[in-house]
Amino acid sequence: MKLFTMIALLLLIFATSGCALIGLEEEEETETAETGSMDDLQGTWAISCTDRTTQLASFSGTNLTSTATLYWDDTCVNASYILSQSVNNLSPGAKTTLADGTEGYFLSATYQSITGTPLDD
């Protein structure tokens, strides 16, 4: 049950954090489609110590691999868990607006693997 809770927390953090795409410049989108483009996600995304979590996610084509380190302290020094996941067949869905006003798209995918590794007692 703890692993499920941690996974749910991780997905919530990733979905609501202010992630920035590293190494790619943002291009102005001229289309107003009801579904997003996977091209918008290509590259590596990183979250630095937000809500006791650091995360690195890499999108390539319709595949995603990510590793998140979860901490029990606000300083993000003492790691407690590492969660690694791999998904494929990513496809964009309907456009949505989060509580903070950020717009995005729902994604659907097929999980290949997910691993939780506890780092302390």
Predicted confidence (pLDDT) per residue in 38-53, tens digit: 787 788 989 888 888 9
CA distance 119 to 111: 23
Positions in the chain short of pLDDT 50: 1-32
As to burial, measured by CB atoms within 10 angstroms (0-12 exposed, 13-18 middle, 19+ buried), residue 26 is exposed
Q: With a threshold of 0.85, does the pTM exceed it?
A: no
**Which pLDDT value is given to residue 35?**
61
